[in-house]
Chain A
Amino acid sequence: MRITVVGGGPAGLYFAALMKRADPSHEITVLERNAPDATFGWGVVFSEETLGSLRDADRPSYDEITEMFARWGAIDVRYRGETVRSRGHVFSAIARVRLLSILQRRCADLGVELRFEHEVSDLSGLAEAADLVVGADGVNSTVRAQRAEALGPTLDVHRTRYIWFGTHLALKAFTFIFRENEHGLFQVHGYPFDARTSTFIVECPEWTWRRAGLDRATEQESIAYCEELFAEDLAGHRLLSNRSMWLNFVTLRNGSWRDGNVVLVGDAAHTAHFTIGSGTKLAMEDAVALAEALERHPGPDLTPALVEYELARQPVIERFQQAALESSAYFENVRRYAGFEPVQFAFNLLTRSGRITHLELEKRDPSFVAGVDDWFARNATGSAIQVEPAGHRTVRVARAPAFTPLLLRHVDVTNRVTLSSPDQDRCEDGVPGDEHTHRAEVAAASGAGLVIPGSFAVSAEARIRPGSLGLYAEAHAAAWRWILDRARHLGEARFGATIGHAGRRGATRPRTRGVDIPLEPDDAWPLVSASPLPYTSRSAVPRELSVEEMPAIVAAFARAARLAAGAGFDLLELDLARGHLLASFLSPLSNRRADEYGGSLDDRLRFPLRVVEAVREAWPERRPLAVRLTATDWMPGGFEVDEAVAVAERLKSLGCDLVHVVAGQTVRNDRPEYGRFALVPASDRIRNEAGICTLVGGHLTTMDEVNTILAAGRADLCILDPPVAAG
């Protein structure tokens, strides 16, 4: 086979070597635009997993590469003058120029033709002359540009600026450094790649970069600026430049990696943000996968081989790109965690991409996680329930974060796991039955710290369904007092009640065969909402809540709060979510009012906050008040997380203690984003920007997920959905 490889970087050279090695009769040419000794960048990082595939693919180059490796197992996070070290990771790195020279030599030994300083302009000619053309020419690929229509590239430009330096400071770990000055927060991603040199990448937000004047700075001025800022970290060493420039990282994706006999590998096909340090690793793995696929499907038709290559690599790349996006988003928003103590800051950083969890870190470095757990148990439980300080020693048997208590006002929730019952009740006039007693007992004995046994309507007209639970009569409070008294003997769970008004989602059937199906008109009751907009095309048109009716609604909420207190609930949750009455005021999608209760966020908040104040007043001062809040409508033009943060700040100032973060269902045709940790970013923002405790769910099914979210400071309580058995 005649193969032309465009680009003499690691992917192109390695692929050429592997193919020639597999079959010396292949005629392989590598075309490189630069000279053999030209190089950009400093060191490249590998993980242990990659090394196995390189060893299997070509032992001689593997031996040479690993001979040159710098290896280390620690990650250091330097923040607020402290360094937190986490061990047990496996990294290797090598100078890019050395890697290239090894691969160039290997290619030459095997008989690959290497042509340097050769610029490719006419791809069609190459593609006609060769059986296969491999585009290994990097993120600015000429090959890709010439086949853009078939390959469908998309480019996402990141918002931060970064610059690559080297330094003769020999770092001992993968090192993250955070330094703040009058211009803003800068961070360094540094790692050693030989005995005396390290890569030192400096990154900052665009506006920090401009404020520092770096947009106008020469290369020497940029070096001087960074050397001064990181003087303490550099310990007298200089920053070395290699035509270093401030760049925006670009995430590249391609719909297809192949077009006829042209195929892309490495950065030409995909990029993943450098904060997860994988570019060269992924590029060389591409080369292995492509060479293997071509070996398995020799025939003149290249399609089966190229399809197999894509099938093998695209899912891997997608996962990396997803993790890289989460990682880069973390660094873009890292100021949010400026109030964290170093140990939690470090844990949060290490778990930023969702790939590494509490459990995984514990496997790698048990003492680091013991330190995190110990810190959490002492410092993150709401102050009053303090473990006796044990000097500076770490408690080796600290409880995992999920099993630490949380003090909310005077209520100590014994652990962070919350069980919330779905709204499936079948009661008469809102009164609970045996089913509720049984469920409450089971939940109390389940080991959960907080149980929310149901959503309670604040009046008969406030019910979602005829069988909804109520808290609008003494009989309701009495029934629940009896249930809670029984349940309390079975465990340590605290009980919470959610009180709400269905608004325009009221008067619907049981949810057995579908949600929001209205009752037959004869069985229904009139609906009320912020504006007269029906929830679905079948739903009754609600009446616009008049200003005159508002006091009665406020009074109903306050009454429900008093009844819940009398029943003995430990926590009260106010329903400001799901498109129900109070939430209907919050969202511009459901609130079209022209009076002072619609329009700006302040106006849309006016009525719901009046209810919050009345409920806080009616609910015992010693017990915590939570608000279930829609963080985003999941709908263009709707309520967004920015507004939710502002609302959370107001709620906090009115004496709310906890925000239960949910999303969607404001309108029926929303665009939900279901997936792992879907609600966690919103919880993270609300908690750390508004400074209020959060409760988050969104289908969390393992204790590891809960521990990771808690220890990273992304929420304070988690709703656990029981895991699903297979089959």
Chain B
Amino acid sequence: MRVGIGLPNTCPGATGRLLVEWARRAEAGPYSSVGVLDRVPYVSHDPLTTLAAAAAVTSRIALVTMVVVGPLRSTALLAKQAASVDSISGGRLVLGLSIGARQDDYVVARVDHRRRGEALSEQIVDLRLAWERGAMTPQPARDGGPPILVGGLSGQSFGRMARSADGYVHGGGPPRAFAGAASRALAAWSDLERAGRPQLWGQGYFALGGTEATETGAAYLRDYYAFTGPFADRIAAGNLTTPQQVVDFVRGYEEAGCHELVLLPTVASLEQVELLAEVLSA
């Protein structure tokens, strides 16, 4: 299993320069990828723009969206943006897409929330066709464009993933939750008679370095997930705040068959890159 690190593009206090420096250090560290989140009505950097900046200062690591809420965006523009990041990075983009979990994203973006599932299903195929035809986008670095991952936990999400994507991206939780979702992803893949196996990506939150980091991380998660009500407390309680928790989590995901796990920061401080690197290298 490969392990990547998130860029803190939705964490309070993350400046644009910090994101760029973060990506630079991630490239120098034991990480296979950097990941970004997507949220419209929340102070945050745009995921694909952030990855474009990361692409400019890196040459090795994969650049993954975990995820972009696809239906919020015009498919033609998303096709162009994603192909541009892929082109700038020399073929390192992995485009994770989902319908997202928050209705307010749709309200602010003025997109019909009720059609989100159908819109995403259409969008995935349209992206692929746009990249293949190449009439609007840069020549993709890889045939057919960057790999597409799809997230979500409904049967429809797994069906959508298996019908049109290259893999599955899980939304976080203990290894047991990932294992259950991965097994459903494999069942869907086999049901749709796709060749080989889907790529399976996982994610988890961390804040290393002691009490202050723990508290900052928890406060951010409670705020970021406030829309889930009491569930936000539970997400905050799942934040990985000790080296042992990180090690157990990584091992659990590996045993559950995850191909690449991206650990997302909850504190926008550059030392997090080094603190996590120490744990992973130990």
Chain A residues within 8 Å of B, Cβ to Cβ: 256, 258, 303-304, 307-308, 310-311, 315, 422-424, 511-517, 536-538, 634, 664-665, 668-676, 678, 698-699, 721, 724-727
Contacts and interface: CB of A to CB of B under 8 A. Distances in A.
B164 A668 contact: no
B125 A668 contact: no
Interface string B100-130: 0000000000000000011001101100110
A726 B190 contact: no
Contacts of B230: 256, 258
Helix, strand, loop or mixed for chain A's interface? Answer: loop
23 contacts: A258-B230, A307-B233, A307-B236, A311-B237, A315-B176, A422-B190, A424-B195, A513-B128, A513-B166, A514-B164, A515-B164, A515-B193, A517-B125, A671-B154, A672-B156, A672-B158, A674-B187, A675-B187, A698-B187, A721-B190, A724-B186, A726-B257, A727-B257
B191 A307 contact: no
Contacts of B194: 422, 511, 515
Contacts of A515: 162-164, 192-194
Contact of B118 (A511, A669, A674, A678): A669
Given A668-B121, A668-B163, A669-B156, A726 B191 contact: no
A538 B164 CA distance: 13
Contact of B184 (A538, A674, A724): A674
B234 A514 contact: no
Interface residues of B, number: 46
Contacts of A311: 234, 237-238
B210 interface: no
- Which 7 A-B pairs rank lowest in CB-CB distance, beginning with the nearest? A699-B187, A422-B193, A674-B184, A674-B187, A672-B155, A514-B164, A307-B233
Contact of B163 (A310, A514, A673, A698): A514
Contacts of A671: 154-156, 159
Contacts of B187: 674-675, 678, 698-699
Contact of A514 (B117, B125, B236): B125
B166 to A, nearest CB: 7
Residues of B contacting A: mostly = helix
Contacts of B117: 669
B195 A512 contact: yes
Interface in B140-187: 144, 154-156, 158-159, 162-166, 176, 183-187
B40 interface: no
B233 A514 contact: no
A515 B192 CA distance: 7
Given A303-B233, A517-B125, A724-B197, 19 more contacts: A258-B230, A307-B233, A307-B237, A422-B193, A424-B195, A511-B194, A513-B166, A515-B162, A538-B125, A664-B191, A669-B117, A669-B118, A669-B156, A671-B156, A672-B159, A675-B187, A725-B257, A726-B257, A727-B259
A678 to B, nearest CB: 7
B21 interface: no
B216 to A, nearest CB: 16
Given A308-B237, A422-B194, A724-B257, A699 B183 contact: yes
Given A634-B155, A664-B191, A304 B237 contact: yes
Nearest to B165: A514
A685 B55 CA distance: 55
B234 A310 contact: yes
A727 B199 CA distance: 11
